[in-house]
Structure 1
């Protein structure tokens, strides 16, 4: 399991690093308003991808048996619905841009509809590979796709494409992904239109779809509300801060959740509850050990970093990053609840948990609109922390994971990060220039966390070795 986790996390570290470097570079070629056009469009693209998936990709991974014809029928159904929805999106692009008075939105949204079809075409074949626990293959494809698309974006930026360089990234990455996954998974899939064969997949997938749509609504509402009420420039600032906030989710938690769900689904056949809980706690402990210190560092380090390395037109992002980084750290743990519940077949409970999470997020943004952009983020952070604690307590109870085990798993990272922040703030009180204060604070932070991790080294090493030594058989899709 550790090999799969490292493959997916390593892939996402490289992928996110390249994406973030590309984004930073694009801040010199595009204004916040231009970023806002793409940021505002992406929720529509993501919504269609989730809607047409129907939760079937997760169901394909979770099912105990899946033959080639069932996989093929599911893939053709997903692609057919996705094509129709993408055409609709392209058709409404111009009227939507006119109604919101966002110049350029129509052409950007219509072009991104192409990426919708390609993204959907990649879902099914990738799910088949994940079902076989072929995560190293998945990681390789994702890395190649990002490298090719980043090169395209960078070349376009220097050729003067402007915002279209950023749009090209989202289109090219899906071209490579859809082609590669289709070719690699072709022997395990027999395409057909016998859609009646996927009824059982749809039954489970329906609850997954509902949960995914609610989670998506909770994440996308910020772009839409801020863009509609405050304007493209504000949503551009929020969008970049949001990308930073979800870095740990993209790099660790989302790929880790896929590996965790597939592993727990296979483990449920012969494994014990004790082993299951050890797997979960190991994943949570190692995730927190990486994410908590790195994200909370931005609560004091973002000021100098963004002032020194970003164009002056982006300085408004600094207070947003510090607050949203805390929310990102909390969500990096909470997001595992879906994998924990779905692996136990509790799709309906996952739906209701997602409902509560999404509704609370939407309410937070609606209430916060009257307080401006910073007010929105402060309310969002408070709600996120409350909901994250409640979600993990519910998930712990429903999956027979003792709360004491959960607390113990998160203790090393939590204690180290809190003490690190105290040490950093004390060090930065020493009179010095901004650069010296940042350097002193950063040094104190790193040293304090390193000492704490040495004190907790037995628990961290035990979690690491437990995942390394876990071996599960890889299922082959039966041919019919």
Structure 2
């Protein structure tokens, strides 16, 4: 399992690093309003991808048996529905742009509909590879796709494509993914139109779909509400801050959740509850150890970084990043609840948990609109922290993971980060300039966390070694 986690996390570190570097570069070639066009369009693209998937890709990974014909039937059904939905999106793009009075939105949205079909075509073959725990292959494909698409975006930016450089990125990355996954998984898939075969997949997948749609609604509502109420420039600022907030989810939690669900699903038949809980606590502990210090650093480090390295037109993002980084840290742990529940077959409970989370988020944004962009984010942060605690308590109870074990798993990262913030803020008060304050604060923060982790080294080592030992037994786990 450790090798799979490292493969997916390493892939996402490189992927997210390239994407973020590309985004920083594009701030010099595009204004916030242009970013806003793409940011506003992506929720529509993502919604169709989730709707079309019908939860079948997760069901394909989780179910005990899956033959070539079952996989082929599921893939053709997904692609057929996806093509229809993409056509509908392209048709409504112009009227939508006119209704919202966003110049250029129609053409951007219509072009991105192409990426919808390609993204959907990649879902099934990738799920087949994940089912066989071939995460190193998946990681390789994702890295190649991002490298090719980032190079395309950079070339387009220097050729003067403007916002179309970003659009090209999203289209090209899906072209590479769809082609590569289809070729690699071809021996495990027999395409056919016997859609009656997918009934059992749809039964489980329906609850997954409902949960995914609700989670998506909770994440996408910000773009839509801010864009409609405040304008493209505001949604551009929020969109970039949101990309920073979800970096730990993209790099660690989302790929880690896939590995965790696949491993726990294979482990369920023969593994003990104690072994299961050790796996979960190990993943949570190591995730927190990396994410908490990195994200909460932005609560004091973002000011200087964005002032020094970003164009002046983007300075409005600084307070957003400081607040949203805290939410990102909390969500990096909460997002594992889905894998924990689904691996136990509790798809209905996952749906209700997602319902509560999404409704809370939507209500927070609706209430916050009257207080401006900063007010929205403050309310969103408060709701996120409350919902995160409640979600993990429910998940812990339902999966028979002792709350004390959960607290112990998160303790090293939480204590180290809090001490680091205290040390950083103390030394920054003694600095004469913003640059010296940033340097002193960063140094104190890093040293404090390093010393704290040395004190917690036994617990962190147990988490790491536990996942390594599971890797040594992967043949037994995969065979169940």
Contact 1:291 1:332 in 2 (8 A): yes
Is 1:40 matched up with 2:63? Answer: no
Which secondary structure does the structure 1 equivalent of 2:391 belong to?
Answer: helix
Q: Distance in 1 between matches of 2:237 and 2:467?
A: 39
Which secondary structure does the structure 1 equivalent of 2:269 belong to?
Answer: coil
Contact 1:114 1:171 in 2 (8 A): yes
Q: What does residue range 59-458 of structure 1 map to in structure 2 within 5 Å? A: 59-458=59-458
Question: How far off is 1:469 after superposition?
Answer: 1.2
Residues 100-122 of structure 1, C-alpha deviation per residue, up to 9 Å, x if partnerless? 00000000000000000000000
Structure 2 counterpart of 1:464: 464
Which secondary structure does the structure 1 equivalent of 2:474 belong to?
Answer: coil
Question: How far off is 1:472 after superposition?
Answer: 2.4
Question: How far off is 1:476 after superposition?
Answer: 9.1
Residues 149-176 of structure 1, C-alpha deviation per residue, up to 9 Å, x if partnerless? 0000000000000000000000000000
Residues 231-269 of structure 1, C-alpha deviation per residue, up to 9 Å, x if partnerless? 000000000000000000000000000000000000001
Question: How far off is 1:432 after superposition?
Answer: 1.4
Residues 408-466 of structure 1, C-alpha deviation per residue, up to 9 Å, x if partnerless? 00000000000000000001000311100000000000000000000000000110011
Q: Distance in 1 between matches of 2:477 and 2:324?
A: 40
Q: Distance in 2 between matches of 1:305 and 1:443?
A: 15
Q: Distance in 1 between matches of 2:238 and 2:468?
A: 38
Q: Distance in 2 between matches of 1:91 and 1:104?
A: 15
Contact 1:267 1:472 in 2 (8 A): no
Q: Which runs of 5+ in 1 are unaligned?
A: none
Contact 1:132 1:475 in 2 (8 A): no
Q: 4+ runs of 1 displaced by more than 4 Å?
A: 474-477
Structure 2 counterpart of 1:29: 29
Contact 2:267 2:477 in 1 (8 A): no
Question: How far off is 1:186 after superposition?
Answer: 0.1
Contact 1:285 1:410 in 2 (8 A): yes
Q: Distance in 2 between matches of 1:14 and 1:432?
A: 36
TM-score calculated relative to the size of structure 2: 0.99
Q: Distance in 2 between matches of 1:164 and 1:197?
A: 41
TM-score calculated relative to the size of structure 1: 0.99
Which secondary structure does the structure 1 equivalent of 2:313 belong to?
Answer: helix
Which secondary structure does the structure 2 equivalent of 1:469 belong to?
Answer: helix
Q: Distance in 2 between matches of 1:431 and 1:193?
A: 68
Q: Distance in 2 between matches of 1:260 and 1:274?
A: 15
Q: Distance in 2 between matches of 1:434 and 1:208?
A: 48
Across the aligned residues of Structure 1 and Structure 2, the Cα RMSD in angstroms comes to 0.9
Question: How far off is 1:385 after superposition?
Answer: 0.1
Residues 281-338 of structure 1, C-alpha deviation per residue, up to 9 Å, x if partnerless? 0000000000000000000000000000000000000000000000000000000000
